[in-house]
Amino acid sequence: MEPQLFTDGIGRITVIGGVVRLDMVTYSPNETDANGRPRQVFTQRIVMGTDAFLRSSEKIVEIVQQLTQAIKAQAKPAQAPAPQPVRPAAAAPAPAPTPVAQPPTPRGEPPYVTGPLFPAAPPEQPPKAPFP
């Protein structure tokens, strides 16, 4: 398994000499602020060039839009079903649809690799200029 990094967020972003530094923070298990809430502490830094940072920020914006749409779709109030006409007593009810079995996810491959929130990666494109 590849190493993973957990973070509660980005504490600071610094750009120096064409290099972007993202300081990752987590909530301390034993340090608190003046209000008694867990204090954010620096854990690791991600360092990348400005062109890589700009490409990364585009991907983040795409995911934010997809998550926003998914949340809005879930938050819509359920509409009451339209009244159904009364059927004669002799009519038999329609059979319930049978669920379609989904193929199992291959072992070692996460189920969220593609889908509405995680679409398949587009073909490689040449890098964009960092500034117009």
The string of pLDDT tens digits covering residues 95-116 is 666 555 555 544 444 444 444 4
Domain residue extents for the chain: 9-73
What's the pLDDT score for residue 94? Answer: 59
Q: Is this structure's pTM higher than 0.75? A: no
What's the pLDDT score for residue 115? Answer: 45
Where does the chain show beta strands of DSSP type E? 9-16, 19-32, 38-49
Is the CB of residue 26 less than 8 Å from the CB of residue 43?
yes
Q: In the chain, which residues have pLDDT < 50?
A: 105-121
